[in-house]
Amino acid sequence: MTPSPIRLALVLTLCAAAPAFAAPPDAALTRALQRDLRLDANEAARYPQTERAAIAREQEARRRLGDAFAGSWLEIGSDGRYRQIVASTTPGMRIDGAEVRVVPHSLARLDAAKARLDTVAGRGRLDAAIHSWYVDPRTNRVVVSAEAGQIHRVRSFAATAGIDPRLVRYETSQGRPQAFNTIVGGERYNLPSGFCSVGFPVFAGYSRGYVTAGHCGGVGTAARGANNLSQGIFYGSTYPGSDFAWVYLTNPAWALRPWVNNHAGGTVTVLGATPAPIGAAICRSGATTGFRCGTVTATNVSANYGHGPVNGLVQSTACAGRGDSGGAFITPAGQAQGVTSGGMLPFGANDNCGVATPTTFHQPLQPILNAYGLTLLTNAQYSVPPAIQYIQCGGTNGSYACSVSYQSFAPSGESWAAPFYSSGSCSAGQWVTITATVSNAFGSDAKTIGFTCPVNGEEPM
C-alpha cells in the first residue's frame, strides 16, 4: 500500500541556523584591508577618506588637463601610505595633493585603441589564446593578456584592430578566464536560512532573473549565490496552491546563461519548453543530489505537503533531496519542464535516491511564465546581438560622463566613438554628439545622442 502523501510528501528544503554574531561593517572592513592588502591599522582605518580624496582629485585633474589627461591611480609608498599619481602628456602641470607624471599617450588615445580591440573581438573572430585586454594608465599602454608564448597572436590581434604596436603591452596569463557569476539551472543559491536551487534563467523586458520554487521564499526574500554574492530578491512567490516563484536580479554582476548544470563538468542547453508526455525520460539538476534522471509517471498531480495542497504538479522517478527544491527539470533534448517542488521522502532521510522507484514532483514551467509575464531564456535568445535601451549623460562645469543601458545575454563589451568618449571635458555650451556601441559574439548595436556641455553647475543632459 502506498504511504499517504500527507505523511511522506515532504518539502525538499535545507534549513541552517543563522550566524549568532556579525562584526560591525567598519571593523570587518578594516580587518579585511589589513589582511588582504597588508595595510597597517592606521592606514586601513583612514582608507575611506583616502578614496574620497582620490576621486575628487581625479575629477579636478580631468577638468584641468583636458585632452592631456592620461589617467590616475593610487600607489602605496615606502612609508606604507597611499599616494595619488596623475598622468599627463603635457609637462609642467600641477595637481594639489598628487604627483604628476609625464607620459606619451593620453587616456583618450588608449581608450580608443581598446575600443578597436573590442570591435574586433565582437565580430566573433577572437583567438582563444587571448584572454583579456584593458587600458593600464600605470604603464600607459593597452595590456593584452594571453597564453605563454603567444605574443605573435597578440600582435595579430592588434594589427587586425589597426592599433599602433607601441600602444600595446603583452602579458602572460596565469590561467584561463571563466565566468564566475552566472545564473545556470540546478546551481545553489543561499537564503537567510538554508538554500535552494536555481530553476531556469528568465527575463521580462530588461528585467532579468530566474524561476524557482515558491516554498523557498516569500516576496522580498533576499537571494545570494553559492559564493554568497548578492543576487536579488523574490519578486513573486506562490505557495501553497502552486509552488513557484521568480527571483529578480538586482546585482548586474550576474549573467544569465541558457544552460542546466549536469554536475559532471558540463551543461545541458535549454532549447525550448515543450512539455514531455507520460513515459518520457526527464532529468533534474539540483545543489544537493546533482543531476538525476527518471521517467514521467503522471501529470496534473496534487500533493499535500502539510501547508495546503499544491496542484498541477508533474510526477516522475527522478530522485531528489533537501536543497534541490527549485532546481531545473529538463528533457535530454533540452526542453525545459519546470522546477523541483517535493517528493516522497522516507522518514529520517534527506533524499529519496536510495528508494527503488522514487517519487518526485515538479511544478510545470508554463504556469510560472504566465503568472509573472516572463520569457524563458533559450539558446535562440542568447545567440543574438545586444540591444541598447538608452544612453544617459550628466555633467558639471565643462565635464561630462555617460553610461549606456543595454540587454545582452551573451558576454558583451561597450565602446564609445571618437572624438568623444564615455567621460571627459568639453567647452561650456559646446554641442557634443556621442555614440555608444555594444558588441557581443553575435553582433552589435549602436546609439547616438547629443547634448550641450554644462555651463554653470550641474546640468542635466
Q: What is the pLDDT of residue 27?
A: 62
Q: Give CATH superfamily name and number for 387-460.
A: Immunoglobulins (2.60.40.10)
Catalytic (active site) residue 325: yes
**Maximum Cα–Cα distance across the chain:** 91
Q: Say whether 307 is catalytic.
A: no
Residue 215: active-site member:
yes
What pLDDT score was predicted for residue 427?
Answer: 82
24 dihedral zone (left: phi>0; alpha: psi -120 to 50; beta): beta
Q: How far is CA 363 from the centre of its chain?
A: 27
Select which of 88, 106, 242, 325 is catalytic: 325
Asked whether residue 426 carries a pLDDT value surpassing 90, the answer given is no
Of the candidates 222, 158, 231, 159, the one whose C-alpha atom is nearest the C-alpha of residue 193 is 222
Assess whether the region 39-102 and the region 107-172 belong to the same CATH fold: yes
Q: Tell me which of 105, 106, 118, 215 is the catalytic residue.
A: 215
Rounded to whole angstroms, the Cα distance separating 167 from 114 reads 10
At residue 267, the pLDDT reads 87
Q: What pLDDT, on a 0 to 100 scale, did the predictor assign at position 7?
A: 30
**Extents of the domains making up the chain:** 1-17+183-382, 39-102, 107-172, 387-460
The CATH class, in words, for 107-172 is alpha beta
The predicted model gives 14-27 an average pLDDT of 32
Question: What is the topology classification, in CATH, of domain 1-17+183-382?
Answer: Thrombin, subunit H (2.40.10)
pLDDT per position as a tens digit, 124-136 = 556 767 777 778 8
Catalytic choice (111, 118, 243, 445) = 243
Pairing relation of β-strands 168-172 and 141-146? parallel
DSSP string, 47-81: HHHHHHHHHHHHHHHHHHHGGGEEEEEEEE-TTS-
CATH 3.30.420.340 fits 39-102, yes or no: no
Q: What is the pLDDT of residues 302-332, one digit of tens each?
A: 888 878 788 889 989 899 999 999 999 998 8
User: What pLDDT is attached to residue 31?
Assistant: 64
User: Is the overall model pTM greater than 0.85, yes or no?
Assistant: no
| Inter-residue contact 106 to 87 (CB < 8 Å) | no
Percentage of residues in the chain having pLDDT higher than 70? 87
Q: Which residue has the higher pLDDT, 336 or 265?
A: 336
Would you say 287 and 323 are in contact if contact means Cβ atoms under 8 Å apart? yes
Q: Which segment of 170-179, 197-206, 277-286 scores lowest on mean pLDDT?
A: 170-179
Instruction: State residue 23's pLDDT score.
Output: 29
More reliable by pLDDT, 247 or 452? 247
